[in-house]
Amino acid sequence: MELTRKERECLVIISGLDSPFPSRLIDVARKANIKPPTAYNLVKRLSRKGLIEERKGAIIVTARGKEEYSEIIRAHRCIETLLSRAGLDKDYACKEAQKIDYMLSEKDVKYLLKFLGNPKNCPHGRPIVV
């Protein structure tokens, strides 16, 4: 799915707000360090793309959104692994990976993972789930 960088960040933040309570706009704005109206616009855009739903002020990630999120995370950890194997620091690799992880196709990620020998974890030790 075509996402902008801001939409990608917003989806990752909403998906990562792992609390027993549903996320609210103010939590998203705070976590993303953006103003509530900006968060509101991003939430509306993600909602139009079917990735999240708003129910009585609560923001819920849809099944499609969860799928998109896991694709981004898989691509992210794949690129991190590639960059860190090339000799770059793992935290720098993480920052760089954020710039492109949401743009890679599933097919490209699959090829890259194969090329890397199907790594089980990223350089931070987090799982790469295929």
80 scored as a contact of Zn ion (CB under 5 A):
yes
122 scored as a contact of Zn ion (CB under 5 A):
yes
Q: Whole-angstrom Cα distance, residue 12 to residue 70?
A: 9
7 scored as a contact of Zn ion (CB under 5 A):
no
Q: Whole-angstrom Cα distance, residue 99 to residue 113?
A: 18
Q: Whole-angstrom Cα distance, residue 3 to residue 69?
A: 11
Minimum Å gap between C-beta 126 and Zn ion is: 5
Burial class (CB in 10 A: 0-12, 13-18, 19+), 125: exposed
Q: Whole-angstrom Cα distance, residue 69 to residue 77?
A: 12
Please identify, using beta-carbon distances, which residue of 92 and 111 lies nearer to Zn ion.
Answer: 92
Determine the interface stretch with Zn ion among 15-23, 45-53, 73-81, 102-110 (rule: CB under 5 A).
73-81
Minimum Å gap between C-beta 68 and Zn ion is: 19
124 scored as a contact of Zn ion (CB under 5 A):
yes
Q: Return residues touching Zn ion (CB under 5 A).
A: 80, 122, 124
